[in-house]
Amino acid sequence: MSRLGPVITLAAGAVLAVGLGVASITATPAAENTAANTAAEAPPAEENSAAPSPSPSKASQTEPQKITKADYGGRVQGNGALIAISIRNGKAVGYFCDGRTEAWFKGSETAGELDLKGVANAGSKVTADLGGGRAKGWVSVGGKRWSFVAPTVVKPSGLYRATAIVRGAKFRAGWIMIKDENGRYYQVGAAFAGAEPVDIPQLDSERPTDPLTLDQTTIYPKDVDGFIEEMQ
């Protein structure tokens, strides 16, 4: 008996190991089948029905910005004339005058670049870069071209215009008013009755839109906000 004991013990261990292996093999497919059945019975995942928010198009992201409001005024180099430019929501007007020759301009500003054409002469133009508190560029009038640098200005500095009927003729006038380094205002302008130049009345430097009298006719100067739309 003592010799058979270890043999019986080993045989019993072998039988137990085989039994456990069979149980493991049997249990594994059952677990897999259970998982498969659970996955088959589970409802499909809910899809997100909300469409993704549209992202801004590249065009809108890169659309050039326009200046809402700006006024510039300064002296034209090599000529002595003054130039004034005003911008409202991307629309722009300009005026060049040396007291004898004058030119009005209109056009637009986009992304800090100014492009104006002459109102009475398409060959006249103004081009400028805007930034750093100034307009810097070129003005062409009567076949001649000059550079200018015009800093930003605040009222009463700036651009003024008036129109009226005086003795049956259409009167028009333009003024540029600028403050000098001593704090005094100086102005230059030109006026015409029909096609004929006439003496231009002076604006009140403190109240430049006050009415003026010319040949018993009352003239009402306007600042740029009062006429920029008329010129577009």
How much is the average pLDDT of 181-189? 93
**Mean predicted lDDT score pLDDT of the chain:** 80
pLDDT at 27 over 70: no
How much is the average pLDDT of 161-166? 95
What is the percentage of the chain residues whose pLDDT exceeds 90?
62
Residues 190, 198 contacting (CB under 8 angstroms):
no
Structure tokens at 69: 């409001």
Instruction: Dump pLDDT digits (tens) for 61-117.
Output: 566 788 999 999 999 998 889 999 999 999 999 999 999 899 999 999 999 999 999
Of 14-18, 37-41, 71-75, 105-109, the range with the lowest mean pLDDT is: 14-18
Q: How confident is the model at residue 48 (pLDDT cuts 50, 70, 90)?
A: very low
Distance of CA 169 to the CA centre of its chain: 41
How much is the average pLDDT of 220-228? 96
For residues 57 and 203, give the distance between their C-alpha atoms in angstroms, rounded to a whole number.
50
pLDDT at 31 over 90: no
* 3-state SS assignment for residue 184: coil
Question: What is the reported pLDDT for 156?
Answer: 96
Maximum Cα–Cα distance across the chain = 151
Q: Is the dihedral of CA 96, 71, 147, 107 positive or negative?
A: negative
Q: Which residue has the higher pLDDT, 12 or 162?
A: 162
What angle (nearest 5°) sits at the alpha carbon of residue 190, between those of residues 187 and 192?
A: 155
Amino acid at 17: A
Instruction: Dump pLDDT digits (tens) for 115-149.
Output: 999 999 878 999 999 999 999 999 999 999 999 99
* 3-state SS assignment for residue 34: helix
